[in-house]
Amino acid sequence: MQGTVAVLFWIFAVLAVAGGVGVVAAKNPVHGAMSLVGSFFALAGLYLLLDAQLIAALQVIVYAGAVMVLFLFVLMLLNLTPAELGSPRFGVGKVVGALCAAGVTALVVSTLVALPVRATPAATDFGTVAAVGRLLYGKFTLAFEATSVLLLAAIVGAVVVAKGKI
């Protein structure tokens, strides 16, 4: 059992990272978006390995599904030609950015390696809809309700932006 989980973890992890690299490296934005879909699916697999079934399902439905369809719609509407996209160039900014990213990665990895291994088993109902719902309406009530107001604000804002010229 442990062995299977480890194998699955490495498969999903490699796929997720490869997808992420693909997003950055792809020349064609549509290819980048498809790499992102792959990365999202791999992440959903990782969530499953962590017993977070609901989050895994939401990841597939919301991100890999709805959000990516919107992304692709916009990309195809824009219909960018290679000339408009321009050619990638290496500037000082990119080098500094890469160095910073490498630094943060090294920091995260070194911290994680130094962490003591605490393999506490999750509660039996961990990750179920009921458990997540109880958390959302219990401990996280305020943040949850504030998020609902945030969505309302986003809708009203979208109406204002989309409305005709004032």
Helices 129-137 & 141-162 angle (0-180, nearest 10): 90
Residues 130-159 as x/- pattern, contact with other proteins by CB under 8 A: -------xxxxxxx--xx-xx-xxx-xxxx
C-beta of 11 vs 158, nearer to other proteins: 158
88 near other proteins, rule: CB under 8 A: no
Which of 22, 18, 70, 66 has the alpha carbon at shortest distance from 42?
A: 18
* Cα(163)–Cα(166) distance, integer angstroms: 8
108 near other proteins, rule: CB under 8 A: yes
Cβ-based burial of 158 (10 A; exposed 0-12, middle 13-18, buried ≥19): exposed
161 near other proteins, rule: CB under 8 A: yes
71 near other proteins, rule: CB under 8 A: no
* Binding positions for other proteins, rule: CB under 8 A: 104, 107-108, 110-112, 137-143, 146-147, 149-150, 152-154, 156-161, 163, 165-166
